Structures are given as C-alpha cells and as structure tokens.
Structure 1
Amino acid sequence: MPTSESGAILVAHRLPAHVTPLREWLSDVAEQVVLITSREVEQGYSGQFGGLISVSDYSSSDEVVTHLDRICSEQAVSRIVYGTEDDILRLARIRDRYGVSGLSEAAALVYRDKYRMKIAAAKGVATPEFLAPSNAADAEAFAERIGWPVVVKPRLSYGSRGVAVVHEGAELAAQLSGYAMKDLLLEEYLPGIVCHVDGFMQGGEVLLSVPSRYVNSCLSFADGVSLGSVQLDDHDPLAQGLTDFARRTVALFPETDLTPFHLEVFIHEDTQDLYFCEIAARLGGGHIYETLGLTTGVNPVELWFRDQAGLRDGGARFARGPERYGFLLVPPREGTLDEIVATPLPDSVLQHNQPDKFPRGYSAATASTDTVASFVVRGADAVAVESALHACAQWAEKALRWSA
C-alpha cells in the first residue's frame, strides 16, 4: 500500500490538468494537497484538492514564494513538490527555510547552475574547458587561449535559451552586452553530435538509463530546422558508452531521492570521445517523458509526483520493451501559418500535435522546445525511428503553408 506523511503537501505547478492529471495521480492524498498554479490553468484543477491558489504571473513574480512562505509558517507541511525547471531553486529554498525534506538549495544549485555542474562533472568525467568570467577581458582571453569558436550561455537558463556559438572578438563583445556577468558561462566548442541520457536516479545511483541521439542539434531552432531524438539500440556501442557515462556522472553529483535526470553528452567528431554537457534533476523537455514512458511502460511524471508527495508504491520497477521511440519538434517561423494541408501521416506516428485554427501568426523560436508541430514515433530499431523522423519532417515541409 502507498504511504505518505501527515501535514500539508504543497504542489507548485504551472502545467494544465490535461497534461498532468494531478488529481488522478495524487488521489490517495488529495485532501492534504494545496496546489499553487497559474491563473490560466486554474479551472482545470478546480475542486480537486484540499486547497487551490492561483497566481497571475506564475514564473516571473514572487507570488508563488509568498504563498509558500505563508502556508509553511501557518501549518505543518510534510512535502513540497515541483515539476518544472523554473521551480527547482525557489522551492528548494523554501524546503531549507522550514526544514521540509526533499532537494535542498545546495543540491539544486549543482543541477541548475551550469558553472557549478561543470565543476562537479570535471572531477570524474571528460568536460569541455569552461570559465565563469569576471569581465569582458577575461572572456576574450579565454577564447583566445582555447581557440574560436566558443559557446556563450546563461548559467541558470534552460531549453537552450540564450545559447550562442561565437566566432570572433566583436561577436563575443556583442553577446556579452546582453548578459549579466554573474549569469554567464563560456565553454569550449566541441564539434560533433549531441546525445542525451534520460532516466531515474536515487542516492547517487542510476536506476534507469535510456540513451538517445539528437537528430540535428538543440540549437537547430535558430535556423528554423527541426530537432529530433532517437532512442539507441541496446547492442549499439554508443548506447553502452552513454549508459556508463551516465552512471559515472550521476555518482559525481549530490544524492537525491527518486528523481528523474536529463543528461546531455557531446561526442567529439574527431576522437569520438564523450564529454559532459549538462545534467538536470528533472524530466527532459520536448517529448522525452512520453518516449520514456512508452519504452518502460511506466508514466515517469506520475511516478515522480507520487514519490515527491511521499507516496511509496513498493519501489520503481523499470523494464524496457523491444521497440524504440523518438520525437520531432518542428519550430515556428517568423510569419503566418496560413493552413495545414490535409496530408496522410507516416504509419509510425503515435502522437501528433499541430494547431487547428488558421491563419495564425508566429514569432521565430527562442528555445529548443518551441514548436508549431510535433511527433512521437515508434520503430523496430533506431534506424527505423530515424527514418520515421525524416518522413515527419518531409510531412511538415509539405503540409505547413507559411506566408511572410
């Protein structure tokens, strides 16, 4: 039987109920739950929990923290639950302030601050050279020393927002003008492809590891090119290398309760060596959680929310099926999507998302997960999945009709 503790369970979460049916997942403790969410999705959760609070500016304002502080000071709280990257640090601080179990601020920072995570990784796995510069002169000296191009990125962002590859001094100076120096990381540019490993970790050990390879790159959106992902076959030496790399990387980072992780790894095109890129203590973006659920038969989001709420279901049991899965994210263009021409989808498509009202104006993508259409596909192996993704990209090119 699942178990939990007494006291309120505070859940701060901005995604709508049709994406995360929290009432269904947390029915055992629904009366203990106080949900803090955004005004846009409040209605979908109405009447489902012991308490419901909505805020007008969920991600950017202090409203969420203010409500959490008030509740923790007024009553006993057993758990504080998060689901997205933008809540990790601020909820960790609340846990620390009131002695609530779960991810602490010190641990959360290592999974959120790209400079701190690079320091942790470099103690045991290959890591590109990096620097948190004090000023523009430091930044240019670093680039001159390791060689151009270099990667410029914010330390606390996610979804590839604000990441740029710069090729010379004037371009670097222009990039630096848009950053607060304390939120800036410079990194050696490694030519090659990027892979990701997703799964669950606990106590510094990997419980589940699913290695995948990106098709194109996480910066493809800047050129209007789709981002895809293919789960690798078990017998692929790359899959085996990534699995071992994930095991060694997780052991270098702060221990957690049962927590999903998303690890990105560079493969140098010349040496084929693996290098650490980033790790997060959450599920990956795009359609990673769907493909993870399809390959294991376990809903990873539900499992994570229940465990954070103190519900113990006898321990997670993960077993991978024989098929492989992947996804494709088609970024929007700057302009108007006039229509989507009725065109048969490839047979391998399991899920497909697209707008249903036209014409519709779009701005160019600013993050790797910005999409106008997306696909989740299935195949007998990685080759079949990648072929399916190419078919989906061709479908999007034919079916989506744009004008300036």
Structure 2
Amino acid sequence: MLVVLSALRSRLEDLLTERGQQILVVVSPAAQSDREARGVPYPMLSVAAWDDRRQLSALADELAALPVESVVTTDEPCLRAAAFLRERLGLPGQSRESATAGTDKHIQKDVLTAAGVPVAGHVPLDSVADIESAAELLGWPVVVKPRRGFAAIGTLLVRDQAHLDRLRASGAFGPQALPASLHASGIHRGLDHASGGLMAEEGIDVLAEFHCEILRHQGREVYAVPGRYPGPLLGTAVLGSVLLGRDDDHTQQVIDLARDAADALQLVTGFAHVEILLARSGDLLVGEIGLRPGGAMLPHLLRLQHGIDPWALSADLAMGLIPQVALRSGGPTVAWAAPIAPPGWITGMDSADELRKQPGVIDVHQLVHVGQQSPTRVGTLTPAGHVFAVGDTAEQAEARARQAATAWQITTSDRPPHEAPPVR
C-alpha cells in the first residue's frame, strides 16, 4: 500500500488510482469532505494540522498496523509530515533533515549559505514587532515572510518605516481569508501568528526572476530545465513563465546555481523547484528552493515544451519505477500567462475559443465562468485562466502569451447575478 499525503491537489493520487495501485490518502478534514462529495475511489484519513506532532504520532500508530510500502507527497506543506511518518515506520525516502531544510526558509538559507550558495541576507523574527530591528540590520526595504510558507502567501515587501506603519494599520499581518483546504498548513493565521515563525531578508532590487525545474533519481539528473517569470514575483501582477533555450544568456548560470542548491539540500531522488533572482548588481542569488515539482501550470508548460509530465513521473517514483525522460530539442518556444479577473461577480467574458484565435496561442484553460464570483488571488494561486503560446524565441512566445492574456476581456459587477437593485 502507498500512503499519499495531499494538501493542495489530487493529481498524484488520481494517477496512482488509474494505474491500479492500492493507496491510502491523508488529507485535511476540509479536503476529505470535498473528495467524499466527489466520490473518490480511495480510502482517506485526515489530520487537522500537518505540523501537529500528536496527530502525526497517532496517524503513525494507525499506519503501523497496515502493509505500508512507502509514504509519498508532492505538496510542500506535507514534506515534513511525510518524513516524520517514514522515520516512525522505518521506511526509506527523504529524511526529516532534508524535509526541514526544504520547508523552513531560514534554515534553508543557512544551509545554502554554509554550502557557498549565494542568498540574500536574512534573519529570523520572533514576531512582527521585530521587523524594525531586522531593518536596522539589513537595511530597508525588507521582505517579511512565514518561515514555513509557500506560493508567496503572506510574503510582504516592506519599503520603509512609514510603509510598515500603514501595513500594520491595515491589518496586513493578521489572519487571511484563505480556502479551508489550506488551513491544515497554518498559513491562514497570518504573519502575526505564523506556524513556525517568521523571517526577514534583504529587499533585493530584482531585475528578473528565473526558475529551474529539476528531477533526480538515485543521484542521477533526469532533467534540469530553466525558465523565466514575466517579472519578479513580488513586483508583478502577471503570473506565467517561459522556458529558456540553451542560447539564452542566463541558461547555464541558472542551471548551475539550481544544481548547487539541490546538492546543498541533499536532493538524491525527487523534484526541486528553484527560484533564482537576478539583482541589478548583476549577481544571481537563490531566492528559494522547494523540494517538489513546480506549481501552478509549470507542469503543463513542461509537457507542451518538452513532453515532460511531472505528475506521471511523480507516480513513477511513488511506485519505485525509474523515471524515463527524453527532452525535446528544437521546435518553437512555449510560454504561459495567466489573466487575473477583476474583483466581483463575473457578468461577461470572452470564450476560450476566441482566445485561441490570438497569434501563437496553442492552448487555453478557462477556470471561471459567467455567474461566478471572481476568485481572490492567493499568493501565486487562483488566476482566472491560463494561456499558452509559441514563438520562435522566448521573447516572442512570452509577448504572445501576455498579449492573449491581456486581451481576455472579463467584466464584473459588485452585485451577485439577479440581485434586485437597492430601493432608493
């Protein structure tokens, strides 16, 4: 039996079920209710908090009576819990030390620094009240984030003292209205009560932000594919990416630095998603590294560009199979961009078919429809849809994807559909 810890999405367990594997899925109570309503075919157990040692110990005792072969996950909030269960059950896999370095941003940057991997200056914080003292040490601006955060949720760039005062007055450090499925991670509590504490780091003047998707199997590199975001994640409202070819000026540097970061975190078998900052000074720094596949639509982008399916490869690893990949060479470059719907109730929007008529567009995913409420953006999550376009160069593909996303007309109203106008 394979035990799958699942916090954000069900793709891995769905694939394992399709392949006829016997699985047991551990989810949050909210996710369990949602999946029971969907009628999923696999059994489930739930934990209310991924970092609750008491609950995990009880879960380990329950699993010890079952024929568990491995404990797997592709979700960052579950990495430490999965490592804890493996250790308790005497199963192979990622160690607790590696899982901690992959999920605690302060420990991670200490590990990277010790390995000679360049990162921004950083300090741990006991609370939001320590931001001023961190700024005295690091200088303004500072980036404040939960040490155990993900998808940029709760991450704030604080420009100066006056900006800090405004953020405090607005309640920016307090609880966040996030989907119930995320509550088991504790991320909804906000920076005032962040599970695992806070950290502050130098606010680097970032010219560009890259990422590198890595997969290794028993120390062998299966692939290392670099890409570039439309802009620094903390400085742009546009979500997306374009994968870089060998002729790009930064390709090899990004790959080399990502490999160094993966080495520092003892990645032997599994995925890494490494984010790398290009500072105005010209230096490249590792922003963060997650020991899991890249999120949002990066897996689909890899599939369109190179025929790589990270979810299928995740299932291979879970089943003890050797991942087989042959990267495509040549051909056009693929880019992805995600439009964000204006707030309110959606009253009109272009069809996906209309967007497919835009130059270079090869695929469109529509996530919202007329009559629905526009989703609130959660970090780098919950856009209105996704657009994929091709070009002869990375720049052309990126421009086409962004142009199509911008052209996606979505109108909203502050009133729900069919609501009677107020009596005046």
TM-score band, normalised by shorter chain: 0.7 to 0.9
Quote the Cα distance in structure 2 between the aligned partners of 1:286 and 1:148: 31
Contact kept, 8 Å, 2:375 with 2:384, in 1: the verdict is: no
Whether the 8 Å contact between 1:39 and 1:54 is mirrored in structure 2 is no
Change (3 A) 1:63 1:289: farther
Residues 11 and 36 in structure 1, CA contact (< 8 A), matched pair in contact too:
yes
- Residue 212 (1) aligns with residue 227 (2): yes
**TM-score after normalising by structure 1:** 0.84
For residue 340 of structure 1, the aligned residue among 336, 349, 355 is 349
CA distance in 2, matches of 1:87, 1:360: 31
Residues 204 and 150 (structure 1), Cα distance of their counterparts in 2 relative to 1, 3 Å cut: farther
Residue 25 (structure 2) aligns with: 35
Matches within 5 A, 1:260-339: 260-269=271-280, 271-310=281-320, 312-313=321-322, 315-322=323-330, 323-339=332-348
- 1:335-378 Cα offsets, whole Å, 9 max, x none, are 22211134343243333222464222235312112211212233
Once the two structures are superposed, the pairs formed by residues 244-259 of structure 1 within 5 Å of their partners are 244-257=256-269, 259=270
Shift of 1:134: 3.8
Aligned-pair CA distance for 1:263: 0.3
2:276 aligned partner, one-letter code: V
Taking only the aligned residue pairs, the percentage that are identical comes to 22
| 1: CA distance, partners of 2:39 / 2:298 | 24
Provide the aligned length of Structure 1 versus Structure 2: 381
Q: 1:309: how far off?
A: 2.7
Structure 1 partner of 2:410: 400
Distance 1:383 1:168, change over 3 A: closer
- 5+ unaligned residues in a row in structure 1: which ranges? 1-7
1: distance between equivalents of 2:161 and 2:355?
49
Scaled by the length of structure 2, the TM-score of the pair is 0.80
Q: Residues 279-306 of structure 1: CA distance to partner in whole angstroms, max 9, x if unpaired?
A: 0111111211111223332311111222
Listed one character per residue, the Cα deviations across residues 178-202 of structure 1 (whole Å, up to 9, x for unaligned) are: 4237510100011122111112134
Q: Please tell me whether residue 12 in structure 1 is matched to residue 5 in structure 2.
A: yes
One-letter amino acid of the counterpart of residue 202, structure 2: E
User: Does the 8 Å contact 1:227/1:368 carry over to 2?
Assistant: yes
Q: How does 1:1-400 map to 2 (within 5 A)?
A: 8-13=1-6, 15-16=9-10, 20-24=14-18, 26-27=19-20, 30=21, 32-36=22-26, 38-42=32-36, 46-47=40-41, 52-53=43-44, 55=46, 65=56, 68-123=59-114, 124-134=116-126, 138-169=130-161, 171-172=163-164, 174=168, 178-180=191-193, 182-192=196-206, 193-202=208-217, 206-219=221-234, 225-257=237-269, 259-269=270-280, 271-310=281-320, 312-313=321-322, 315-322=323-330, 323-342=332-351, 343-345=354-356, 346-355=358-367, 357-362=369-374, 364-396=376-408, 399-400=409-410
Contact 2:127 2:198 (8 Å CA) reproduced: no
Q: Equivalents in 2 of 1:355, 1:56: separation in Å?
A: 29
Assess, with a 3 A threshold, how the Cα gap between structure 1 residues 102 and 320 changes in structure 2: closer, same or farther. same
Amino acid at match of 1:200: L
Aligned equivalents of 1:203 and 1:86: distance in 2?
24
Residues 1:126 and 1:58: Cα distance change in structure 2 (over 3 Å) = closer
Three-state SS of the structure 1 residue aligned to 2:264 is coil
Distance (whole Å) between structure 1 residues aligned to residue 50 and residue 361 of structure 2? 33
Higher relative contact order, structure no. (Cα contacts within 8 Å, ≥ 6 residues apart): 1
* Alpha-carbon distance between aligned partners in 1 of 2:404 and 2:13, rounded to the nearest angstrom: 23
Structure-2 separation of matches of 1:52 and 1:371: 31
CA contact 2:368–2:374 (8 Å) conserved in 1: no
On the 8 A contact 2:152/2:379 being kept in 1, the answer is yes
* Maintained 8 Å contact 1:9/1:77: yes
Distance 1:267 1:89 in 2: 30
Cα root mean square deviation, aligned? 2.9
1:138 and 1:219 mapped to 2: Cα distance? 21
* Structure 1 position 213, deviation (Å): 0.9
The 3 A distance-change label for structure 1 pair 59 and 361 is farther
- Is the 8 Å Cα contact of residues 74 and 292 (structure 2) preserved in structure 1? yes
C-alpha change, 1:56 and 1:401, in structure 2 (3 Å) is: farther
Matched residue type, 2:100? L
